[in-house]
C-alpha cells in the first residue's frame, strides 16, 4: 500500500459550509465575536472541546501510552530568550513580506502568483520584500519595558532543552522519544483558511533521539507510523499522501522533511511534518548554553550527539481535516437531504446520544435512568427537544455514531432502540447488557488500518 501517489479526491465540504456548521453546532466560534472578532483567532465550543480532547488522547495513547520508548513533558510557553537565539528562530524564522501599494494588504511574497495581488487584483504594485519574524514578542516582569521574550513558535525546543533532564531522570537509552502537547504562537501573515492556519494553535510534537547511524531508518519508520495514525482517526486514505520537501523548502534545522498532506478543497496542504533534524538542535543548545548535551552509550563507551526525527502535527488542523473529510450530504428515499459527519467513534465528540421519544412525564425517569447507566462509559448527550426525526438529523450532523431511543415500551420491557448513524438501521436491545452492546457496535465502526509492513513510503 502506498500513499505517495494517492489520487486526488475532492472532499464534499467547502470551508464556508464547514465554518457555518462548526459555529451553528458549537464546535468553533470566532473569538471575541461580540466585539467584531479578532482575525484568525477562534474559540472552541462544547463539541469542539470534546473533539480536541479525543484527538489529543488518541495521539498520546499512540505516541506515549502504548509504547515503552517515549515519555512526556510539559514545558513553559515563555522561556529564556536565549533558547530562540540558539534554535535559530531569532535569525531565520521569518517570511518574506510585501505590501500591496494599491489596497495596502500585507502579503507573503511567496504566495503572490503572476505578480497579481490576491486581494485587489492589481498587477506588479508591491513594495520591496522585507523579512518579517514570525515569533510573537512579549515582555516579562512588572514594568512595561520588562525583559523582552517570545511566546514559543513550536513546542519542540522544550524537549531539546530538557534532553539531559529527561534522559537522566528516566535512564532511557537511545533510541527514545520525548513528547509534548501544547500551545504555540506565530505571527502568521496569511491566515485565511479557518482553523487551518491561526496565530495561536496547539501542537503535538515528539522528538525521537537516536544513534546517528540509525536515523534514516527511524525517519522512514515514523513516516509509516504517522500515516497509520491518521488512518486510525478515520481520514480516508485517498485524501492523504506523503510528500518530501524540496531542498528549497526545508526549514533551517532540517536534513529532510516529509509532509503528510491532505487533499483539501483548495488543493494539497500540510497536515503533519516529519522532519529529520539531525543533531542541529542539541549542538546549538550545547554551544549557546555551554552544557555538553551528548549521550554516553554504555555499549560502546562513547559519547554521541543523538540525531532527532520529529513528527509534528497541529490539533486544530487535525480537527479541521477530520470534519472536512467526514462531511457528507446524502439524499434519502423520498428526496430528503441529510448532512452526516462520518466520524470514527474515538474522535466523535458524542459517542452515544440518549433520546426519549418525547418529554412525557412517564418517559423522563426511565430515560434518565438509561442515561445514568451510560454516562460513566461513553461521551453522551441527552436531547429531548423536537421530533425524534429531527433529533436523529442533529446527531448525524455532529457525527454521533449511535443513538439510544427510549419509548413507552421501554417502561414495560426495559428495552431500548439503538440507531446506527451510517446505516440508519435500528435494533431493539435490553437495557441490561446495553453498555456491552454499544461497545461492540462502536468497536465495529473503528477504521481498519494496515500494518506498518503494508505501508510503502
Q: Site mask, ligand GAP, residues 287-326, x = CB under 6 A?
A: -----------------------x-xxx-xx---------
Determine, following the binding rule CB under 6 A, whether residue 205 of this chain makes contact with ligand GAP: yes
Nearer to ligand GAP, 201 or 222 (CB): 201
d(CA 440, CA 44) in angstroms, rounded, equals 31
47 binds ligand GAP (CB under 6 A): no
Q: Which is nearer to ligand GAP, 192 or 390 (CB)?
A: 192
Among 28, 156, 354, 455, binds ligand GAP (CB under 6 A): 156
Per CB under 6 A, 95 contacts ligand GAP: no
Counting contacts by CB under 6 A, is residue 396 touching ligand GAP? Answer: no
**What contacts 150, CB < 8 A, 6 or more positions away?**
78, 79, 81, 84, 89, 135, 136, 137, 138
Give yes or no for residue 75 binding ligand GAP (CB under 6 A): no
Residue among 231, 307, 306 at smallest CA distance from 275: 307
What secondary structure letter does DSSP report for 16? H
* Shortest Cβ 43–ligand GAP spacing (Å): 15
The reply to whether 273 sits near ligand GAP by the rule CB under 6 A is yes
Helices 315-326 & 15-24, crossing angle to 10 degrees? Answer: 100
Edge-to-edge strand ranges of the sheet holding 130-133: 106-108, 94-99, 130-133
Grid cell of 41 as nine digits:
483567532
Asked if residue 281 binds ligand GAP (CB under 6 A), the reply is no
Site membership for ligand GAP, residue 241 (CB under 6 A): no
Edge-to-edge strand list for the sheet holding 267-278: 70-72, 176-185, 200-210, 307-314, 267-278, 256-264, 240-244
How many Cα atoms sit within 13 Å of 354 on the Cβ side?
A: 22
For residues 169 to 188, the per-residue mask of contacts with ligand GAP, x marking binding by CB under 6 A and - elsewhere, is -----------------x-x
Q: Is 226 in the site for ligand GAP (CB under 6 A)?
A: no
Between 312 and 363, name the residue whose CB sits nearer to ligand GAP.
Answer: 312
CA dihedral of 443, 444, 449, 450, whole degrees rounded to 10: 120
Q: Which is nearer to ligand GAP, 230 or 379 (CB)?
A: 230
Backbone angles phi, psi at 392, to 5 degrees: -60, -45
Chain residues in the site for ligand GAP (CB under 6 A) = 154, 156, 186, 188, 197-198, 201, 203, 205, 270-273, 310, 312-314, 316-317
Amino acid at each position: 500500500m502506498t500513499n505517495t501517489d494517492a489520487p486526488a479526491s475532492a472532499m464534499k465540504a467547502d470551508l464556508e459550509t464547514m465554518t457555518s456548521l462548526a459555529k451553528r453546532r458549537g464546535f468553533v466560534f470566532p473569538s471575541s465575536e461580540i466585539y467584531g472578532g479578532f482575525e484568525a483567532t477562534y474559540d472552541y465550543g462544547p463539541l469542539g472541546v470534546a473533539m480536541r480532547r479525543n484527538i489529543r488522547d488518541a495521539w498520546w495513547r499512540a505516541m506515549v501510552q502504548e509504547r515503552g520508548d517515549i515519555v512526556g513533558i510539559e514545558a513553559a510557553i515563555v522561556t529564556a530568550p536565549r533558547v530562540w537565539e540558539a534554535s535559530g528562530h531569532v535569525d531565520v524564522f521569518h517570511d518574506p513580506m510585501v505590501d500591496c501599494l494599491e489596497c495596502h494588504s500585507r502579503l507573503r511574497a511567496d504566495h503572490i502568483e503572476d505578480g497579481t495581488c490576491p486581494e485587489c487584483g492589481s498587477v506588479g504594485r508591491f513594495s520591496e520584500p522585507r523579512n518579517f519574524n514570525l515569533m510573537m514578542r512579549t515582555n516579562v516582569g512588572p514594568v512595561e519595558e520588562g525583559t523582552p521574550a517570545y511566546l514559543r513558535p513550536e513546542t519542540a525546543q522544550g524537549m531539546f532543552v530538557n534532553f539531559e533532564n529527561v534522559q537522566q531522570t528516566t535512564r532511557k537509552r537511545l533510541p527514545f522519544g520525548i513528547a509534548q502537547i501544547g500551545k504555540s504562537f506565530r505571527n502568521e501573515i496569511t491566515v485565511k483558511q479557518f482553523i487551518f492556519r491561526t496565530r495561536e494553535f496547539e501542537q503535538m510534537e515528539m522528538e525521537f533521539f537516536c544513534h546517528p547511524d540509525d536515523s534514516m531508518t527511524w525517519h522512514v519508520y515514523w513516516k509509516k507510523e504517522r500515516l497509520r495514525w491518521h488512518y486510525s482517526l478515520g481520514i480516508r486514505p485517498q485524501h492523504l499522501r506523503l510528500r518530501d520537501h524540496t531542498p528549497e523548502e526545508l526549514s533551517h534545522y532540517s536534513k529532510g522533511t516529509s509532509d503528510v498532506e491532505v487533499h483539501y478543497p483548495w488543493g494539497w496542504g500540510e497536515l503533519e511534518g516529519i522532519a529529520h533534524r539531525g543533531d542541529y538542535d542539541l549542538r546549538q543548545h550545547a554551544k549557546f548554553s555551554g552544557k555538553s548535551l551528548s549521550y554516553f552509550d554504555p555499549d560502546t563507551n562513547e559519547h554521541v550527539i543523538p540525531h532527532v526525527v520529529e513528527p509534528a502535527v497541529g490539533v486544530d488542523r487535525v480537527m479541521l481535516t477530520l470534519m472536512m473529510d467526514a462531511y457528507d450530504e446524502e439524499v434519502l428515499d423520498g428526496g430528503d437531504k441529510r448532512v452526516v459527519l462520518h466520524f470514527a467513534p474515538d474522535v466523535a465528540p458524542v459517542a452515544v446520544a440518549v433520546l426519549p421519544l418525547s418529554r412525557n412525564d412517564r418517559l423522563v425517569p426511565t430515560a434518565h435512568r438509561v442515561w445514568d447507566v451510560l454516562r460513566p462509559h461513553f461521551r453522551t448527550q441527552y436531547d429531548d427537544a423536537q421530533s425524534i426525526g429531527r433529533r436523529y438529523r442533529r446527531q448525524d450532523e455532529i457525527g454521533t455514531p449511535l443513538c439510544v431511543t427510549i419509548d413507552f415500551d421501554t417502561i414495560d420491557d426495559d428495552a431500548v432502540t439503538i440507531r446506527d448513524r451510517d446505516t440508519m438501521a435500528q435494533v431493539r436491545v435490553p437495557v441490561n447488557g446495553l453498555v456491552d452492546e454499544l461497545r461492540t457496535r462502536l468497536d465495529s465502526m473503528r477504521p481498519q488500518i494496515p500494518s506498518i509492513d503494508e505501508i510503502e513510503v
